[in-house]
């Protein structure tokens, strides 16, 4: 009889594990999963094992084995570890975990994370919520839960993990220059309840004290400014190129056009000039924490 452990099908047929299916619109991701599956099938067949036999060796049902080998399912890291050991691959199969892990995240998130990983300077203004790079896991989960989307627990885990993975930008060496301007209302909104909200503010204080980070708060009573039409992002790279995006400019699409980038940079500079200084912003967040 089939059972499930951590959502994965074990020893028989069962329901699919949400969050590990292949996105048909993600051609590059689907190609990676197909390549991994093909390598697994070739090694299994070379070892003279049928799918059912192989499944019993690693503790999974043959239906899942077929789906993974056909490139229809993204194998979990533990699946690859067990397959590596069962097939005597000497770490070659387990080494594919990094590629598979990246594919598991939504395509748009991967593309954004890749840009952030290459940038030497990132500047962001956010008016509606805490920026993803600054969120705690609990805060991020609370935002996904109220989005009115039918996310399963696995979907939520996947989305939160993808967002948290982007925070690796803070640990890069050399460290990039990071600046954030947050609207006051995003700090006052108690997303996830008081405890989650307090933890989020405490996290902001920790991040803001990093030497390569400048965090500023835009007071609600500051009057009109260029960010009122939406979020602004500007990323600069070592080769001198840059990319920017704004909800209120150029149809919200990313741009690398020099003239359009200058407009976004001017808007962002104006926003920073109108916001509280980093020192004043730290004091403001500490004051918010003290009000509870």
Summarize the confidence of residues 107-130 as an average pLDDT.
Answer: 82
Is pLDDT at 52 greater than 70 in this prediction? yes
Alpha-carbon gap, residue 198 to 144, rounded angstroms: 18
The token pair that represents 205 in the structure block:
């204080």
Residue identified by tokens 């969120």 is: 135
108, pLDDT greater than 60: no
Alpha carbons within 13 A on the beta-carbon side of 84 = 16
pLDDT of 197 over the 70 cut: yes
| pLDDT tens digits along 144-189 | 999 877 778 877 888 898 889 888 889 888 889 999 999 999 999 9
Instruction: Please check whether residue 219 is in contact with residue 184, taking contact to mean a CB–CB distance below 8 angstroms.
Output: yes
Predicted confidence band of residue 111 (pLDDT cuts 50, 70, 90): low
* Mean pLDDT (whole number) for 107-125: 79
Candidate ranges 162-166, 217-221, 241-245; pick with highest mean pLDDT: 217-221
What's the pLDDT band for 114 if we cut at 50, 70, 90? confident
pLDDT confidence tier of residue 106, bands split at 50, 70 and 90: low
The pLDDT tens digits of the residues spanning 9-47 come to: 343 333 344 446 676 666 777 888 889 999 999 999 999
pLDDT of residue 248: 82
pLDDT-derived band at 6 (thresholds 50, 70, 90) equals very low
Q: Distance from first CA to last CA of the chain, Å, rounded?
A: 53
Mean pLDDT of the chain: 86
Query: What is the structure's pLDDT at 97?
Result: 85
Q: Using the Cα atoms of residue 14, residue 15, residue 19 and residue 23 in order, give the sign of their dihedral.
A: positive
Note the pLDDT of residue 181: 98
Q: How confident is the model at residue 117 (pLDDT cuts 50, 70, 90)?
A: confident
Which of these ranges, 44-48, 105-109, 239-243, has the smallest mean pLDDT?
105-109
- Write down the pLDDT at residue 235: 93
131 contacts 140 by C-beta, under 8 angstroms: no
Question: What are the DSSP calls for 168-204, one per residue?
Answer: GGGG-SSPPEEEEEEEHHHHHS-TT-HHHHHHHHHHH
Judge whether residue 1 has pLDDT over 60.
no
Q: Which pLDDT value is given to residue 107?
A: 61
pLDDT of residue 17: 47
Question: What is the rounded distance in angstroms from the CA atom of residue 167 to the CA atom of residue 120?
Answer: 15
Q: Is the pLDDT of residue 8 over 90?
A: no
Q: Rounded to 5, what percent of the chain is helix, strand, coil?
A: 55, 15, 30
pLDDT of residue 18: 44
Q: What's the pTM? A: 0.67
Q: What is the pairing mode between strands 213-218 and 119-126? A: unpaired
- The predicted pLDDT at position 81 comes to 93
């Amino acid at each position: 009889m089939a059972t499930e452990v951590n959502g994965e099908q074990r020893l028989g047929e069962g329901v699919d594990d949400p969050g590990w299916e292949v996105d048909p619109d993600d051609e590059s991701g689907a190609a990676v999963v197909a390549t991994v599956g093909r390598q697994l099938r070739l090694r299994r067949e070379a070892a003279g094992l049928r799918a059912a036999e192989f499944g019993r060796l690693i503790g999974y049902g043959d239906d899942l084995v077929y789906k993974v080998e056909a490139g229809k399912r993204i194998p979990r890291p533990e699946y690859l570890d067990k397959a590596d050991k069962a097939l005597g691959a000497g770490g070659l199969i387990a080494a594919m975990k990094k590629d598979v892990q990246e594919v598991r995240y939504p395509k748009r998130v991967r593309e954004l994370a890749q840009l952030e990983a290459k940038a030497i300077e990132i500047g962001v203004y956010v008016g509606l919520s805490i920026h993803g790079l600054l969120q705690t896991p609990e805060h991020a989960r609370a935002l996904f839960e109220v989005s009115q989307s039918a996310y399963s627990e696995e979907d939520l885990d996947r989305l939160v993990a993808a967002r948290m993975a982007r925070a690796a930008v803070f640990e890069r060496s050399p460290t990039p220059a990071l600046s954030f301007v947050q609207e006051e209302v995003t700090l006052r909104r108690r997303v996830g309840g008081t405890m989650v909200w307090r933890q989020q503010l405490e996290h902001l204080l920790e991040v803001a004290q990093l030497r390569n980070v400048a965090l500023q708060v835009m007071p609600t009573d500051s009057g009109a400014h260029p960010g009122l039409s939406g979020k602004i992002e500007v990323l600069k790279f070592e080769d001198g190129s840059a990319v920017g995006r704004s909800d209120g400019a150029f149809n919200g699409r990313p741009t690398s056009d020099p003239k359009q980038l200058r407009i976004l940079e001017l808007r962002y500079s104006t926003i920073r000039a109108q916001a509280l200084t980093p020192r004043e912003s730290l004091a403001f967040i500490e004051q918010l924490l003290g009000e509870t």
